Amino acid sequence: MKENANLNSAAKRIVVDWGSTNFRAKLVVDGEVVDQVQSADGIRLRGNRDFDEILNLHCGHWAEAHSDIPVIMSGMIGSREGWREIPYVAAPASVADLAAGLVAVPSQYFDSVVIVPGVRSDDAANGTTDVMRGEETQVIGLLESIPTGPPVTICLPGTHSKWIVCRDGRIDRFRTWLTGEAFDRLTHESLIAGTGGEVELDSPAFSRGLALADTEGGLLHHLFLGRTEMLTGRIKPTELRSLISGLLIGHELREARAFAEGTVFLVGDSPAAAATAKGMAFIGLTANRIVADTHLAGVLAIEAARK
């Protein structure tokens, strides 16, 4: 870890991305990451341990080396199951709105700990509400690097895939698809694809799933076809998971394409992002691929807007 005794606390900060299953923290000095740590201490895996103690376990040595260093956190740590439930900011939401929603929490180990609020998107026509926690920092980070003007759509694939329409530098509206979690549930001990092999994006079965998603019948019917495709010999049993992946991503893309506006940005370098990129190419949906981590840029922008 790099040290510089002449840096004051304002030039240093600890940035934490604390989700359901993972804890990620970075020591940032003058905007540069000089040290980082990652663990499986997500909020659902902490047992009976105190959040403040977990934070100190992973980041306490940074606070000892850099006195008065502030901590800024985002993600599910601000949820009902987290350190404290932080109220959502209603969309349309700007970086200034998120900065105004920052909430400080007490800590016995750190002088300043604040949590970034999530964002809620209310659909008055349908009487529904969608929410995000953590993704808003990624979106703000990306918006910092692209011109403000026409609307853009940011796709964040994963367990709960987000499609966020942004307008005039703000999070305007968004929708969530349960694609990743559905795949995980359907491919473990299910009759549909519980015994299939690994997902192969170049497999004909993956393309077959994408193609079936664009036919009549709906998702629930198409999912059952996953079994009959195997029973009839159209695909091998080891290709079942590839087919189901294609089906789920195909349905997400079919619906999200109608929801999106303007240029589409696909963010991430995860397997989910790679599969989504493959699906986009299959259906002819053009997207700009962003593999850089935009979380840190977003957190720093939100923190700066508070000052």
- Which CATH number fits the domain that encloses residue 257? 3.30.420.310
Question: Do 287 and 172 fall within a single domain?
Answer: yes
Query: What is the pLDDT averaged over residues 114-127?
Result: 96
Question: Do 166 and 261 fall within a single domain?
Answer: yes
User: Which of 98, 124, 150 finishes a domain?
Assistant: 124
pLDDT digits (tens, 9 = 90+) for 124-141: 999 999 999 999 999 999
Question: Do 4 and 119 fall within a single domain?
Answer: yes
**Region for residue 231 given its phi and psi (left: phi exceeds 0; alpha: psi -120 to 50; beta: otherwise):** alpha
pLDDT recorded at residue 10: 57
pLDDT digits (tens, 9 = 90+) for 227-237: 999 999 999 99
With a cut of 50, say whether residue 4 has pLDDT above it. Answer: no
With a cut of 80, say whether residue 98 has pLDDT above it. Answer: yes
For the chain, give the percent of residues with pLDDT over 90: 85
In a domain, 140, yes or no: yes
Question: Do 189 and 105 fall within a single domain?
Answer: no
With a cut of 90, say whether residue 245 has pLDDT above it. Answer: yes
For the chain, give the percent of residues with pLDDT over 70: 96
Query: What is the pLDDT averaged over residues 48-58?
Result: 95
Q: What is the mean pLDDT of the chain?
A: 93
In a domain, 26, yes or no: yes
pLDDT recorded at residue 6: 31
Range of the domain at 115: 1-124
DSSP 238: G
User: Which of 124, 144, 159 finishes a domain?
Assistant: 124
Question: Do 83 and 197 fall within a single domain?
Answer: no
E-assigned strand segments in 219-305: 263-267, 288-290
Q: How far, in Å, are 7, 15, 93, 100, 262 from residue 173 at the CA level?
A: 40, 26, 9, 19, 13
pLDDT digits (tens, 9 = 90+) for 147-158: 888 999 999 999
Say which residue the tokens 């502030």 belong to: 70
Question: Do 160 and 99 fall within a single domain?
Answer: no
Question: Do 98 and 207 fall within a single domain?
Answer: no
Say which residue the tokens 């509400």 belong to: 129
What is the spatial distance between Cα 176 and Cα 92, in angstroms, rounded to a whole number?
16
Question: Do 156 and 202 fall within a single domain?
Answer: yes
Query: What is the pLDDT averaged over residues 3-7?
Result: 32
